[in-house]
Structure 1
Amino acid sequence: MTRLLLAISRPRFWLYLAGTYLVGYTAGAASPAAFAAPGFWLHLLYFTLPANIFLYGVNDLFDADTDQHNAKKGTREHRLARPERRAVAAAVAAAAALGLALAAAAPSWPAQAFMLAFLVLGAGYSVPPLRFKARPGLDVASNVLYAMPGALGFVQAAGAWPPPAALAGAAAWTGAMHLFSAVPDIDADRAAGLSTAATVLGARAALLACAALWMAACAAAWAVAGPPLALVGAVYPAAAVALAARPSQVGRAYWAFPALNAAVGFVLFLAAVRG
């Protein structure tokens, strides 16, 4: 069971939630004393295994139609077997319940809103009738769910809303990341009859759209934190433009992105520490 839940949770992607929460909390913290708060540690732990079981477990439970055509399932990622579905569904329900409990216990309505937004968007991405992943445009926009832990962390630490430019930049970055990750799945999604932003645009146009969104995120970073951080982020649109010339290489590049995101995330963390 433990191995199954770890596989479902995609450990290489844990930083996308836990790291984002840490960066947001650090950016909002007025002093190191803020990190002594039990709520910080509780939420940081939640955004490791439990939140990822919820997010990717829901995805695996409702994506059987596309997963059967997806070459990475059974090789790079676990393919959920029928006998495993009940155990995974129970784990997803438990993780969702824990998230709802954290939202209910939040001391402010903005913190409640960001946690609930994460849960609703995470479920709505895969679960009918919403199933944002099958609605071109909404599939990209709904990926802002990955920014919710960061916004939550900032609100908890600062007691104020994150800067609007930071939220806009995060929405652009997460949208680009989703669209980029959907490009290697174009063939599988088309085979399953699934319409996504990537299947509508095609690989090359989707990659150029990624570049535009990442450039918008860089502009937001410039507005919030200045040129150095924006220049660090410029690696993303540059990579997207380069891959647009060779779309067949996107599948290989996709698996290198967790390491790139970890490195850039560390730079963001250092920037947040410096204030």
Structure 2
Amino acid sequence: MTYLRLALAFISAAIIAGVIFARLGRAKGEGRQHWRAVGLAFAALAVLTAVFDSAMIAMGLFHYDASHILGVKVGLAPIEDFSYPLAGVVALPGLWMWLTRERDREHRQSRKYLLSQALLASRPVSWINTAYPFAAAMLLTTREVTWVLVLGTFYFLIPYNLAMYGINDVFDYESDLKNPRKGGIEGALLPPRLHRPMLWLAAATNVPFLVVLALAGGPAAWMSLAVSAFAVVAYSVAGLRFKERPVLDSLTSSTHFVSPAVVGLALAGAVVTPGLLALLVGFFLWGMAAHAFGAVQDIEPDRQAGIGSIATVIGARRTVRLAVVLWLIAGLAMLATPWPGPLGAIIAVPYIVNCAPWWNVTDTTAGGTNAAWRRFIWLNYGSGFLVTLIFILQWSQAS
């Protein structure tokens, strides 16, 4: 089968699914707005595809059999490569609209409703933040695609996030009721009848992966997986509630994002070097800064619910300033890594710029930082772009 036939089949299925889901999920009058957004998203993805594919092809990381492609290219990227972002950008927004649409009372009691709410609770927009560190750490160490890499990447992409955020949404229900941000991109507002099923679903989708990954590694992998799983549970569950213990809350939250990279390094048998430690320290400080800044916007609902956090204890202004300092140190830590790692210091700049305008924020105006937090979510994708370029440069130098 040629790439063109495969691409056409893929696109056709995506278009059919995307149109159906969009029609079922969108509200009246949203049609033009939806497809305009799809067009803009594809334009951005097409540019990224052209840049990344051309860079990787130029470095000889992969090639295409000329007899299986049309020969039309954008840069060095075959036109067929653009079918995959097109299929994704057509199908996935429609699927999201369908999953988050309003449902009647009878449907809310169904199993489908649980699964759709579980998907919403898992924060799909943030899946890449945990899967990428694992995949990058393991691939750069082993330089080969193995079943452990594929399995671990999938685990840290979906099941891990379902547990991390789903458990949090269950035990944060009372405070989430007072938080207008809940119920969309920043998490589900789970009705009480879904709390127990959500916890069972989180366990059922995580334990098998943890067992298999543990069996695939040695003591270092066992320890890192145990720390990772404990941090996910301890952050939210009653009796531990690390998220209500100032400073420990930011430390635990950062562990959520750094531990996948540590697990990947452990499974790959990486050798610990000063440069690698500097990289992990920088990543960990970045995670602490992200959590601290994110906690600022929730000062009011957290205090109303009696929930403590680093922001409720030291106040909005000091927390914002702490986040800026942590991001600055994280960037400086990258300067201690082997080339091209120091280029990563640039990544701290947009986060500092995004956070700095709130340098003098007060507790009463802390809710306004949500605008910067929403930008932060999308800044992660821009950072991922830069990290991937560094990743490619590192790979090409070692090849």
| TM-score, length basis structure 2 | 0.64
**CA distance in structure 2 between the aligned counterparts of 1:101 and 1:161, rounded to whole angstroms:** 25
2:218 corresponds to 1:218: no
Q: Which residue of 1 aligns with 2:192?
A: 82
2:393 corresponds to 1:255: no
Structure 2 counterpart of 1:241, from 352, 356, 359: 356
1:26-175 matches, within 5 Å, as: 26-29=139-142, 31=143, 34-35=144-145, 37-76=146-185, 77-143=187-253, 144-161=255-272, 163-175=276-288
The count of corresponding residues between Structure 1 and Structure 2 is 271
Structure 1 counterpart of 2:291, from 172, 178, 195: 178
2:309 corresponds to 1:196: yes
**CA distance in structure 1 between the aligned counterparts of 2:234 and 2:209, rounded to whole angstroms:** 15
2:345 corresponds to 1:230: yes
The 1:74/1:19 distance shift into structure 2, 3 A limit, reads same
Q: Which residue of 1 aligns with 2:12?
A: none
Q: Shift in Å at residue 75 of structure 1?
A: 4.7
Q: Which residue of 1 aligns with 2:91?
A: none
- Once the two structures are overlaid, the 10-residue window that deviates more, 56-65 or 148-157, is 148-157
Q: Shift in Å at residue 60 of structure 1?
A: 1.1
Q: Shift in Å at residue 228 of structure 1?
A: 2.3
Aligned amino acid, residue 112 of structure 1: W
Q: Which has the higher contact order (CA 8 A, sep 6+)?
A: 1
Aligned amino acid, residue 233 of structure 1: A
Aligned amino acid, residue 271 of structure 2: A
Q: Shift in Å at residue 28 of structure 1?
A: 2.0
Is the 1:221–1:230 contact (alpha carbons within 8 Å) kept by the matching residues of 2? yes
Structure 2 SS opposite 1:256: helix
**CA distance in structure 1 between the aligned counterparts of 2:174 and 2:296, rounded to whole angstroms:** 18
Q: Shift in Å at residue 158 of structure 1?
A: 4.8
Unaligned runs of 5+ in 1: none
The 1:128/1:86 distance shift into structure 2, 3 A limit, reads closer
**CA distance in structure 1 between the aligned counterparts of 2:191 and 2:239, rounded to whole angstroms:** 23
Aligned amino acid, residue 182 of structure 1: A
The 1:6/1:208 distance shift into structure 2, 3 A limit, reads same
**CA distance in structure 2 between the aligned counterparts of 1:262 and 1:41, rounded to whole angstroms:** 21
Unaligned runs of 5+ in 2: 1-111, 395-399
Aligned amino acid, residue 199 of structure 2: A
Is the 1:63–1:126 contact (alpha carbons within 8 Å) kept by the matching residues of 2? yes
Is the 1:27–1:154 contact (alpha carbons within 8 Å) kept by the matching residues of 2? no
**CA distance in structure 2 between the aligned counterparts of 1:99 and 1:209, rounded to whole angstroms:** 36
The 1:160/1:108 distance shift into structure 2, 3 A limit, reads farther
**CA distance in structure 2 between the aligned counterparts of 1:48 and 1:227, rounded to whole angstroms:** 27
2:384 corresponds to 1:265: yes
Is the 1:124–1:132 contact (alpha carbons within 8 Å) kept by the matching residues of 2? yes
The 1:153/1:99 distance shift into structure 2, 3 A limit, reads same
Aligned amino acid, residue 216 of structure 1: I
Q: Which residue of 2 aligns with 1:15?
A: 128
Is the 2:328–2:352 contact (alpha carbons within 8 Å) kept by the matching residues of 1? yes
Q: Shift in Å at residue 183 of structure 1?
A: 1.0
The 1:93/1:126 distance shift into structure 2, 3 A limit, reads same
Q: What are the Cα deviations for residues 153-179 of structure 1, in whole angstroms up to 9, with x where unaligned?
A: 233335334722122112111111111
RMSD, aligned α-carbons: 1.9
Q: Shift in Å at residue 133 of structure 1?
A: 0.5
The 1:248/1:87 distance shift into structure 2, 3 A limit, reads closer
Larger radius of gyration: 2
Q: Shift in Å at residue 8 of structure 1?
A: 1.3
Aligned amino acid, residue 57 of structure 1: G
**CA distance in structure 1 between the aligned counterparts of 2:266 and 2:388, rounded to whole angstroms:** 16
Q: Shift in Å at residue 51 of structure 1?
A: 0.8
